Structure 1
Amino acid sequence: MTKTIQPLPPLAEPLTGQAYRDAMTQVASAVHVVTARGPAGRLGMTATAVASVSDTPPTVLVCIERSSRTLAAIEASGIFCINTLPAHGVETAEIFASRRGLQGEERFAADRWTELVTGAPALLDALAAFDCRLVSVHDIASHRVLIGEVVGLGGRTPENDLGGSLIYRRRRFEAV
């Protein structure tokens, strides 16, 4: 049996950015800290727009606003690390979301960090750390979509996993 789908009528008013942002608050997203290394040291930012692309080769994507200093460092160095935060990582998420007034290296003082293959900062307490080489950049609206080939993995192992993940929903961080 074939079902015909009727097209939706056009919107009476154009969709606003605020209406879109309000709708997106209902979408739960894992919270990550994306890190890089620049001429002045380590940089990082909180991100939720992260996704797996492929497992052969292992590839991920992250969307970053064009004005980001972390983006500039990633594009200059060609490396970055996506650190997935555990449930108790709220303070780390807040620090890297620029909500604590800390800049540059100060942001890294509250946690333990290491380096994997590329030299980008990897959070020792991450649920997973995806150490990447930048392979592609795409401009979309106000952001850039970065595609990275994963060349190293870090973070917790099944033996030292304490459970729980941090998500962002309804404009706040929550543990699940």
Structure 2
Amino acid sequence: MEEVVSKTEFRDAMARVCAPVNVITTNGPAGRGGFTATAMCSVTDEPPTLLVCMNGRSAQCGLFLENRRFCVNVLTHDHTMLAGFFAGQQADMEARYAAAEWIEMPSGSLALADAIVSFDCHLTEARMVGTHHIFLGRVTDIRARQDGNALLYFDRNYVNVPTQVGSFGG
């Protein structure tokens, strides 16, 4: 029989995985919501699809499931405070949104005006696995900028790794 690693062992190991920090927003008939996530990745480019994970105990799950739309906003190092707000340091949703400038995407979800990239998504599938919802979203629109250093999460801290856009050693 295979041994199962403990929750603590798994969490400590995952803390060693560097991940981009994103604010995931929704806006629609159920209302406006948003949370900070590092669990986001591409799934396929035919059709363009992203995967986002959200804690199933979050009071906002219902908003995302009912609105059936979300926007993935990839943050820069300048957004460290905003990441904290959307991670729960600021409980009031209006105060979270008041801390930055937003642009309404075609779906109605809000894109961070100065995000590195924002992906407007239509929720195509939601599945509960363990403690988290896995959201699959078909990308319907993209806003991007050509500069900015990504905000990353590593060893349970926000970190900045300066980039040299267009510079690939060799």
| 40-49 vs 138-147, which moves further | 40-49
CA RMSD of aligned residues (A): 1.6
- For 1:33 and 1:58, the matched residues in 2 are separated by 19
Aligned to 1:64: 54
Which amino acid in the other structure matches residue 119 of structure 1? G
Q: What are the superposed Cα offsets for residues 104-138 of structure 1, whole Å, 9 maximum, x if unpaired?
A: 11101111001111001110111110000000111
Aligned to 2:111: 122
Report how many residues are paired. 161
Larger-gyration structure (1/2): 1
Counterparts of residues 149-168 of structure 1 (less than 5 Å) = 149-156=138-145, 158=146, 161=147, 163-168=148-153
| TM-score normalised by the chain length of structure 1 | 0.86
* Cα 1:56/1:40, change in 2 over 3 Å: closer
- For 1:125 and 1:53, the matched residues in 2 are separated by 24
| Shift in Å, 1:55 | 1.1
Aligned to 1:17: 7
For structure 1, the residue ranges without an aligned partner over 5 or more in a row are 1-8
Q: What are the superposed Cα offsets for residues 17-52 of structure 1, whole Å, 9 maximum, x if unpaired?
A: 011111111000000000012557421100000000
* Cα 1:69/1:10, change in 2 over 3 Å: closer
Q: Percent identity?
A: 37
Aligned to 1:138: 127
* Cα 1:10/1:143, change in 2 over 3 Å: closer
| TM-score normalised by the chain length of structure 2 | 0.88
The 3-state SS of whatever aligns with 1:97 is helix
Aligned to 1:173: 158
- For 1:108 and 1:46, the matched residues in 2 are separated by 13
Aligned to 1:95: 85
- For 2:124 and 2:91, the matched residues in 1 are separated by 30
- For 1:82 and 1:134, the matched residues in 2 are separated by 12
Aligned to 1:4: none
Which of 90, 94, 97 pairs up with 1:108?
Answer: 97
- For 1:170 and 1:94, the matched residues in 2 are separated by 16
| Shift in Å, 1:152 | 0.8
For structure 2, the residue ranges without an aligned partner over 5 or more in a row are 162-170
* Counterpart check, 1:55 vs 2:71: no
